[in-house]
Structure 1
């Protein structure tokens, strides 16, 4: 009796093994699929972590502005009774916020404006010629009704604000080429000045500004005009001008239009501003200590406010994948400084990730 039962039991074991080998086991397969797909989905949908260099660039970008100058005039000709409206932009450079209350550092040669009447000679001559007159014959009769400079700061969010000059030096060779200007803003994101005497040879530096090439070439979109450019290099020398003013030589490419833009150390602090050089690849900067002199003489404190603090925390939380907490920081930044050029982009990214459940 026992051998017969053993044979039947052996047959059942063999049949069970064959069925296990040929039939799918649904629960195990389902669990395996979920485990392998879940992290893949998160990696695809979540933004990549920001590097330290990325964090510095995103932190700095909203603080750097374009500075634009020009002339505006109205000229009356009693000979034909016409009033000629004249307006032109004569130059532009870069600058950066040094105080949350709208104070900006740039070059004196960027904010200087030439004699408007002299600037408009050619344009006025063309307008008079179109009316059958020559400037030479009627110049003595012309009445300059209004002549005023154009002084504008273009924020990175494309808003344009008039500025006033608070404290200004002179072009390099004639004085210290630094100018402190002000726009009507509060809670502006600012850059911190480093101690330039701590700068060492071959330190890495980054230049931020608005190269004129983007304006001159018709290839770029209008938005690109308001996008600051970053170039990198090293400190190649520390020198002094004849009047004793210290300057730093750097190797970073600096195209026309970057004058007055900040030069940063690896921590994102300003060691100086772009000032002069014989070409784009041979540049000298006036130091942060010289900038500080101009701020001190105007009783302006270089400081960073709540917008800087909250935006920086938001960037760090975003980079760490804490999107709900980052969203809260970015929302506060938007509320404190609606003109912030970068925060809307990060708000959108955080909301997308949160909506997708990641």
Structure 2
């Protein structure tokens, strides 16, 4: 019995996937599209076949919540960015949305080749207008389109140059105020993950937030990183840590509970884990006000609810890191 007990302990140590530091389990997420489109040049009516290998449309942070590759993030990180930016509405992208972004990317690629003089002065708003004009005239038509979600982070050592693909499992929306999404990395096993703790959050308690703020990439943007070492690129795609306290509880008119924090975050940090002093996830960052110095997160119970709806077991009790 003693020998069997020792073997069981050894097996647990060897095979049980371990929880890890929040920095290691926090990932950078890019939502993108790919596909192909036909573009007709309005100057000579020639039609071009354009391939869109990659067109990034939004980015943010997320974190691994199970050893087999489920990832939590904010819904607005993988939702339709146009609706979020222009109407403040969080929703899942439709086929028409994907077609639009492929059309938009195809027009830009077409202009690079056929009318490069237009590119230098073309801003995002103008490209949107041009895309709508081409679509109205029937001068652009997406022939195939795909929503791609790419994951980078220290858990995936080669991801700086070869990001890992993920699929969108489910996401909330503005109607429910559930700014939470669930992703899945394929063929993953024994990944480090962050335990979720649905504890009662109290005003004044300390919190740590991990994520990928835009300043992090701006820092490296001023450097010559071409041909940089693997260590350099792994550093670029390792999350930043900020800390603060829970400043207030803020229930919404729909009954959703938000928590306010003074921990500093920036664009790109959305979707990152909000952890307690035991490195357990107690919330997910969903909104920031950089100039005002306060930000908001949803408690982790909403992550657990979305997981339960999709048959994903993340516990949600009071867990201590292994």
Same fold (TM over 0.5): yes
The 3 A distance-change label for structure 1 pair 201 and 137 is closer
In structure 2, what is the Cα distance between the partners aligned to 1:125 and 1:105?
Answer: 32
- 1:41-75 Cα distance to aligned partner (Å, 9 max, x none): xxxxxxxxxxxxxxxx9722221111110222311
Conservation of the 8 A alpha-carbon contact between 1:190 and 1:303:
no
Which stretches in structure 2 are left out of the alignment for 5+ residues? 1-18, 82-96, 119-129, 226-232
Conservation of the 8 A alpha-carbon contact between 2:39 and 2:106:
no
Conservation of the 8 A alpha-carbon contact between 2:245 and 2:263:
yes
Task: Answer 1 or 2: higher relative contact order, Cα 8 Å, separation at least 6.
Answer: 2
Conservation of the 8 A alpha-carbon contact between 2:212 and 2:269:
yes
The 3 A distance-change label for structure 1 pair 92 and 125 is closer
1:274 matched to 2:285? The reply is: yes
Match of 1:82 in 2: 48
Matches of residues 1-358 of structure 1 in structure 2 within 5 Å?
A: 59-77=21-39, 79-86=45-52, 87-114=54-81, 115-119=97-101, 120-121=103-104, 124=107, 127-128=110-111, 131=114, 136=133, 139-156=137-154, 157-159=157-159, 160-171=163-174, 175-184=177-186, 185-197=188-200, 199-217=201-219, 218-219=221-222, 221=225, 222-279=233-290, 281-302=293-314
For the aligned residue pairs, the C-alpha RMSD in angstroms reads 2.9
* Bigger-Rg structure (1/2): 1
More helix by percentage: 1
Calculate the TM-score normalised by the size of structure 2.
0.69
- CA positional deviation for 1:125: 5.6
The 3 A distance-change label for structure 1 pair 195 and 174 is closer
Q: Secondary structure at the match of 1:62?
A: helix
The 3 A distance-change label for structure 1 pair 175 and 128 is same
In structure 2, what is the Cα distance between the partners aligned to 1:153 and 1:257?
Answer: 14
Q: Secondary structure at the match of 1:140?
A: coil
Q: Secondary structure at the match of 2:305?
A: helix
Match of 2:87 in 1: none
In structure 1, what is the Cα distance between the partners aligned to 2:134 and 2:77?
Answer: 35
Q: Which moved more, 1:210-219 or 1:144-153?
A: 210-219
In structure 2, what is the Cα distance between the partners aligned to 1:186 and 1:126?
Answer: 38
In structure 1, what is the Cα distance between the partners aligned to 2:264 and 2:111?
Answer: 43
In structure 1, what is the Cα distance between the partners aligned to 2:202 and 2:108?
Answer: 54
Conservation of the 8 A alpha-carbon contact between 1:113 and 1:149:
no
More strand by percentage: 2
- 1:147-198 Cα distance to aligned partner (Å, 9 max, x none): 2222111132242211111121014x7521011110011111111111242x
- CA positional deviation for 1:129: 8.0
The 3 A distance-change label for structure 1 pair 62 and 145 is same
- CA positional deviation for 1:141: 4.4
